[in-house]
A and B are shown apart, each in its own frame.
Chain A
């Protein structure tokens, strides 16, 4: 055994590949319906609002608010042993969709529902960057 255990690396399904390609360029991009113009997440082939099959990934604001959050104290996988306690949050983007993420740059006990946050990018390696969020600085 050498080194620390690796954290899980995203394994994109074909429909979420454009999301991860945008993230690599430090852009947050979500599928938007070309018929009803609504955004959704997670990516899927059809628009869950109107069932249209016509959509394109579009860069969004990267701003939103914490809808809810939890703080992991238990180590479910050894790769996270040095991170506990850490926050996993459900962020509601200004464009509507909600996504799971981590909140960085703030102590877990300071995180609140409705707190404004913005996206930052955590580079996993040369090929993968993971969208995370931090509080919007006042």
Chain B
């Protein structure tokens, strides 16, 4: 690696600022939707998003949709069900970072004439897969050896994403004195937001006492540090800003995006405490011509409480190491300094691998929510996506037209 390879000679991405808009957005039913597949939910969200935009399926010429990881060429199945031949169609495979990347790819495709109107979406049927009946539940809890890594993990009893992210939480607590009380405030704040959202999967209040009473899963994470298992889909419709002016909804401009991948590994360097959100965010801020001080609401990929805390630092909302006091101040609450995951997030609304964060960012920019859900006078939303064995990251900055 050298300085040359890390620094673009020019910033061509600035030319993409405000060239495209999100003109439609919607979700499927969320949470526990037995009897449907991820594909069914994807179509449900896209139909709702097209209705929202005042468009028909035949207007769509780009499909950037993703489904469960075992679904081959998901975009093709989606386009087939929509009854369209798509000029531009693919599925990205960056885990929870894919959904924002698909919006970024849509902007590039539209800018360079490869598509006019692109649907970006994600769907999963995780709750149904893991809870359909007792046999299914047990099968999911006890995977066969053939599905595990061959060595260097399962022989030590190391399984799952909860443990992987918990390593980062332990390290952050060690370096900066971060506490479980501070993680707990994230869970409690997002639950409070979910109670304002009739669609949210979680319906009961959560106190900090409830948080501490929750059973430990992989310490330092307990049950309330972990995101939900959900059946869920979300979709957005992207088109040029010029065309957006003639459509039904107030367009929400795509002001900036950026990606970065700490592909040397989650366990390498300091990646578990300084995530790829740092470089992805810097790229998105440069494209948008904005900085963290301009962001009115953040919709952060909350697979686990700690990941919100570290990303807030990496995005510059506070200094590295000060995320604990920052969240403990109540900043993340509706009415706080940086209202965050205002629909409840993956911890309390539903886990849709970052797609619902995009949907919520768009809705906040439209100013159509009732007062108790609206971030007052919000002009700019920052949205994050994280995934792919903890190392892939993408950032989206939206703004009012």
Residues of chain A touching chain B, judged by Cβ–Cβ distance below 8 Å, are 7-13, 16, 20, 42, 67-74, 76-78, 80, 83, 85-86, 88, 90, 98-102, 108, 112-114, 124, 130, 132
Q: Quick one: which of B145, B167, B216 contacts A8, CB cutoff 8 A?
A: B145
B171 pairs with A73, CB closer than 8 A? no
In the complex, what distance in Å separates the CA atom of A10 from the CA atom of B272?
26
B170 pairs with A73, CB closer than 8 A? no
Residues of chain B touching chain A, judged by Cβ–Cβ distance below 8 Å, are 141-142, 145, 148, 150-160, 162-163, 166-168, 170-171, 174, 215-220, 267-268, 272
A73 pairs with B218, CB closer than 8 A? yes
Write out the residue numbers on chain B whose beta carbons fall within 8 Å of the beta carbon of A101. Answer: 156
Given A12-B151, A16-B152, A88-B163, A68-B157 contact (CB < 8 Å): no
Write out the residue numbers on chain A whose beta carbons fall within 8 Å of the beta carbon of B142. Answer: 77-78
Q: Quick one: which of B157, B159, B167 contacts A90, CB cutoff 8 A?
A: B167
A10 pairs with B216, CB closer than 8 A? no
Q: Quick one: which of B156, B166, B168 contacts A102, CB cutoff 8 A?
A: B156
Q: Which residue of A lies closest to B151 (CB)?
A: A10
A88 pairs with B157, CB closer than 8 A? yes
B157 pairs with A102, CB closer than 8 A? yes
A69 pairs with B167, CB closer than 8 A? yes
Write out the residue numbers on chain B whose beta carbons fall within 8 Å of the beta carbon of A68. Answer: 167-168, 170-171, 174, 272
In the complex, what distance in Å separates the CA atom of A136 from the CA atom of B95?
39
A113 pairs with B157, CB closer than 8 A? no
In the complex, what distance in Å separates the CA atom of A100 from the CA atom of B163?
12
Given A74-B218, A78-B142, A20-B156 contact (CB < 8 Å): no
B158 pairs with A88, CB closer than 8 A? yes
A72 pairs with B218, CB closer than 8 A? yes
A42 pairs with B218, CB closer than 8 A? no
In the complex, what distance in Å separates the CA atom of A83 from the CA atom of B158?
12
Q: Which residue of B lies closest to A11 (CB)?
A: B150
Tell me the total A-B contact number using a CB cutoff of 8 A: 94
B166 pairs with A70, CB closer than 8 A? yes
A8 pairs with B154, CB closer than 8 A? yes
Write out the residue numbers on chain B whose beta carbons fall within 8 Å of the beta carbon of A124. Answer: 155
In the complex, what distance in Å separates the CA atom of A7 from the CA atom of B152?
13
Given A12-B151, A88-B163, A90-B267, A80-B219 contact (CB < 8 Å): no
Q: Which residue of B lies closest to A111 (CB)?
A: B170
Between A and B, 11 residue pairs with Cβ closer than 8 Å are A42-B152, A67-B267, A74-B217, A76-B157, A83-B157, A85-B219, A88-B156, A88-B163, A98-B268, A114-B174, A124-B155
Write out the residue numbers on chain A whose beta carbons fall within 8 Å of the beta carbon of B167. Answer: 68-70, 90
B155 pairs with A130, CB closer than 8 A? yes
Write out the residue numbers on chain A whose beta carbons fall within 8 Å of the beta carbon of B150. Answer: 10-13
Q: Which residue of A lies closest to B171 (CB)?
A: A68
In the complex, what distance in Å separates the CA atom of A124 from the CA atom of B166?
27
In the complex, what distance in Å separates the CA atom of A77 from the CA atom of B160?
11
A100 pairs with B158, CB closer than 8 A? yes
In the complex, what distance in Å separates the CA atom of A44 from the CA atom of B215?
39
B26 CB to nearest chain A CB (Å): 35
In the complex, what distance in Å separates the CA atom of A71 from the CA atom of B180?
15
B171 pairs with A113, CB closer than 8 A? yes
A77 pairs with B267, CB closer than 8 A? no
A7 pairs with B155, CB closer than 8 A? yes
Q: Which residue of B lies closest to A73 (CB)?
A: B216
In the complex, what distance in Å separates the CA atom of A55 from the CA atom of B268?
21
B157 pairs with A73, CB closer than 8 A? no
Q: Quick one: which of A71, A90, A113 contacts B219, CB cutoff 8 A?
A: A71
A98 pairs with B267, CB closer than 8 A? yes
| Among B150, B151, B272, residue most surrounded by chain A Cβ atoms (within 10 Å) | B151
A13 pairs with B151, CB closer than 8 A? yes
A36 CB to nearest chain B CB (Å): 14
Write out the residue numbers on chain B whose beta carbons fall within 8 Å of the beta carbon of A10. Answer: 150-152, 155
B307 CB to nearest chain A CB (Å): 15
In the complex, what distance in Å separates the CA atom of A66 from the CA atom of B159?
19
A8 pairs with B148, CB closer than 8 A? yes
A16 pairs with B157, CB closer than 8 A? no
In the complex, what distance in Å separates the CA atom of A29 from the CA atom of B153?
17
Write out the residue numbers on chain B whose beta carbons fall within 8 Å of the beta carbon of A88. Answer: 156-158, 163
Given A70-B167, A73-B219, A90-B167, A113-B174 contact (CB < 8 Å): yes
B58 CB to nearest chain A CB (Å): 47
In the complex, what distance in Å separates the CA atom of A34 from the CA atom of B208?
55
B203 CB to nearest chain A CB (Å): 24
Q: Quick one: which of A12, A69, A86 contacts B157, CB cutoff 8 A?
A: A86
A129 CB to nearest chain B CB (Å): 11
Q: Which residue of A lies closest to B148 (CB)?
A: A8
A76 pairs with B151, CB closer than 8 A? no
Q: Which residue of A lies closest to B175 (CB)?
A: A113
